[in-house]
Amino acid sequence: MKTQLKEALKGAIRYSIGTGGRTRVGRYIFKQILSTSMEECREVEHDGVRLRFAAPNELCNWRAQTFSTKEPETLAWIDAIPEGSVVWDVGANIGLYSVYAARRRKCRVWAFEPSVFNLELLARNVYLNGLVSQVCIVPFALSTAVGSNQLRMTTTEWGGALSTFGEEYGWDGEAIRKVFEFQTMGLPMDAACDMFGIPQPEFIKMDVDGIEHLILAGGTSVLKAVKEVLIEVNDDFRDQAEGCERLLKAAGLSMKHKLHSEMIESSTTGFQNTYNQIWVREQP
């Protein structure tokens, strides 16, 4: 019933746009609605830290609303990072964790996000929280080689996820249900340092919905010097899970934790075997 109501509402909106958009007044009204939606914000407080996030649609509003409950293990991991550390947020989406790391631990964050639909919200969230000097947005996809390829997307919603770069499969290893794509540049993690002068990360958070193992393969030098990696892995996607384990172990890292929230545990959308793995370098 809820899905039917949403589709009916979408149909009504499309009809209104199609008819009202033919007049000057109608076009003006729609522009004002769009402009106003981008100004909508939601305030979040987590463990004494107050943040503001742009919420132009229901998905972004939900991301803000579930900030403390969707990935508490990620927040706890960030809480333990030494102040002023260099962090790479690979697959930053709209920047929830980039912003938190910069505010909570005064980290210098490089936020990698190739989606044109998420970049504006990422920039807005960095600005809303006064973190422009601490968070650098890198609008490239990370990959195994320098070059262009398709970013294939399952949604064009602001705040959307489950995209893939240069591959035909999604987060579960199955053929991606593409609704949109465009060509953009990709580069390996090692090239991000060598070509663009991005500092070697001390901590990496990675959530790119299925190609984590390919990105790790392009970062041999980076991984050998990193202190910790938090990476989302789907245990049911064997190529991804085994590839990540092999590459992280080869870099001298050991798995410390494999966690997910109660929200993920009780999910009915197939994510029950997806975990945030935390890999650490043992101190001599």
pLDDT digits (tens, 9 = 90+) for 162-180: 999 999 999 999 999 999 9
Q: Which of 37-41, 152-156, 237-241 has the lowest mean pLDDT?
A: 37-41
CATH number reported for the structural domain that contains residue 182 in this entry: 3.40.50.150
In-domain check, residue 74? yes
pLDDT category at 26 given cuts 50, 70, 90 is low
pLDDT category at 22 given cuts 50, 70, 90 is low
In-domain check, residue 5? no
pLDDT category at 39 given cuts 50, 70, 90 is confident
- pLDDT higher than threshold 90 for residue 4: no
DSSP the chain: -HHHHHHHHHHHHHHHHHHHTTSHHHHHHHHHHHHHHHT-EEEEEETTEEEEEE-SSHHHHHHHHTHHHH-HHHHHHHHTSPTT-EEEEET-TT-HHHHHHHHHH--EEEEE---HHHHHHHHHHHHHTT-TTTEEEE-SEE-SSSEEEEEEES--STT----EES-SB-TTSSBP--SEEEEEEEE-HHHHHHHH-PPPPSEEEE--SS-HHHHHHT-HHHHHH-SEEEEEEETT-HHHHHHHHHHHHHTT-EEEEEE--HHHHT-SSS-TTEEEEEEEPPP-
Determine the pLDDT at residue 135: 98
- Give the chain's mean pLDDT: 92
In-domain check, residue 50? no
In-domain check, residue 48? no
Structural domains of the chain, count: 1
- pLDDT higher than threshold 60 for residue 207: yes
pLDDT category at 213 given cuts 50, 70, 90 is very high
- pLDDT higher than threshold 70 for residue 10: no
Find the domain containing 243 and state its range: 61-280
In-domain check, residue 239? yes
In-domain check, residue 115? yes
In-domain check, residue 56? no
In-domain check, residue 9? no
